[in-house]
Amino acid sequence: MAVHELTPADALARQQAGALLVDVRDAHERALGTARGALGVARGELEADPATHLPALDAEILLICQSGRRSQFAADALAARGYTNLASVVGGTLAWSAAGLPMDAPELDDDFSDRYSRHLRLPEVGLAGQKKLEAATVLVIGAGGLGSPAAYYLAAAGVGTLRIADDDIVDRSNLQRQILHADARIGVAKVDSARDTLAALNPRVRIEAVNERVTSDNVERLLEGVDVVLDGADNFAARYLLNDACVKLGKPLVYGAVHRFEGQVGVFDAGRHRGSAPCYRCLFPEPPPPEAAPNCAEAGVLGVVPGIVGLLQATETIKLLLGLGTPMTGRLLHIDALGLRFRETRLSPDPDCPVCPPGRDFPGYIDYARFCSGG
């Protein structure tokens, strides 16, 4: 049988006369608003078992989706199952809303719905995932080359709280790669500059600006209540300290590093997965001598390379918060910007690691600055 098409105004009139209006979009789409009074049943569920959701075969059923295409397909499928009084709403919910017809608004404020609309349309994220991001806390160590792009995208994504720790001030030489800062903020504390930039981007995000260098004395306070730690440090002492604290406290650590035209990204999650996931010390049991590991000020760095690495760190952080995809646990990604090549190294936990094997007691924090200087 041919399936009728109705304009939104005609569909509203038929609904008011007793027809059943069914929104066949997925739940994450309906979370953004539905035609008032519509029954929400995803198309796949409806077609699989229509009798569970619909009245008699001859009842008047009106189907609506986002633009009218899926509702037409659903109507055709129901007609093949014996339903005889079907219609599809032309233009779908978009046309319904544009015509000013009554809507059941989502239980969200307009800013949330608009700001995160592209996330809300992803079934893998949706409303539940966005709320999970909003409830999360991420510690970003360093508001420099790696912390800048990472924090920017985490704030844009809607991570609820960003705790940013850095004791440095903005210098003109930073501006070639540290995109959180601006020329007018030279001499300002980096965490204050970062807070102003991120608040302007997304005022919904809470920025905790901690004007401190991470040390053995404050590291556990910095990690308190944190879901993921993002390592944007530029020195080995901080990296070893963060690793040990994350193992002890069971926090995932998203690692990143840059040198000239190259970068590295990985996830160390040994604290939550003893014996199956490595920690940073499994990869680097001992730090290289200082002369073999110059920092950006000494060796230079192509400005976009920290952007690539920080963006990948933000990606891994969001995946960890949402439980999406496959995190880079046990893998280290090497980035060669000059050749634009990516190479991956598989990492295994070291049974002789001093901090992360199963059953090993935490050995305590050491003098990391002296440890990394070879003293």
Q: What is the CATH number of the domain that holds 83?
A: 3.40.250.10
Residue 238 lies in a domain: yes
Residue 112 lies in a domain: no
**Domain ends where: 58, 83, 107?**
107
Residue 243 lies in a domain: yes
What pTM does this model have? 0.79
146 shares a domain with 79? no
Residue 48 lies in a domain: yes
**Domain ends where: 79, 107, 135?**
107
142 shares a domain with 27? no
137 shares a domain with 40? no
Host domain of residue 63: 4-107
305 shares a domain with 282? yes
197 shares a domain with 52? no
Number of H-type helices and E-type strands within the chain: 17, 15
Residue 140 lies in a domain: yes
pLDDT value of position 11? 95
Mean per-residue pLDDT pooled into runs of 10, the chain (375 residues): 85 95 89 90 94 93 94 93 94 93 81 90 89 97 97 98 97 96 97 97 97 95 97 92 97 96 97 96 80 62 96 98 96 97 96 94 84 67
Per-residue H/E/C for 81-142: CCCCCEEEECCHHHHHHHCCCCEECCCCCHHHHHHCHHHHCCCCCHHHHHHHHHCCEEEEEC
Residue 198 lies in a domain: yes
CA pair distance 339, 343, nearest whole angstrom: 11
| Number of compact structural domains in the chain | 2
Residue carrying structure tokens 């003109």: 172
CA pair distance 117, 166, nearest whole angstrom: 32
Could you tell me the CATH number of the domain that includes residue 261? 3.40.50.720
DSSP state of 286: S
205 shares a domain with 82? no
3-state secondary structure of 246: helix
- For residue 20, report the phi and psi dihedrals to the nearest 5 degrees: -95, 120
101 shares a domain with 133? no
pLDDT value of position 110? 80
Residue 75 lies in a domain: yes
136 shares a domain with 9? no
95 shares a domain with 124? no
CA pair distance 312, 227, nearest whole angstrom: 18
325 shares a domain with 346? yes
Give percent of the chain above pLDDT 90.
Answer: 82
**Domain ends where: 58, 73, 107?**
107
124 shares a domain with 90? no
Residue 113 lies in a domain: no
CA pair distance 25, 96, nearest whole angstrom: 14
98 shares a domain with 123? no
**pLDDT single digits (tens) 102-145:** 998 776 788 898 899 899 888 899 888 999 999 999 999 999 99
CA pair distance 162, 6, nearest whole angstrom: 49
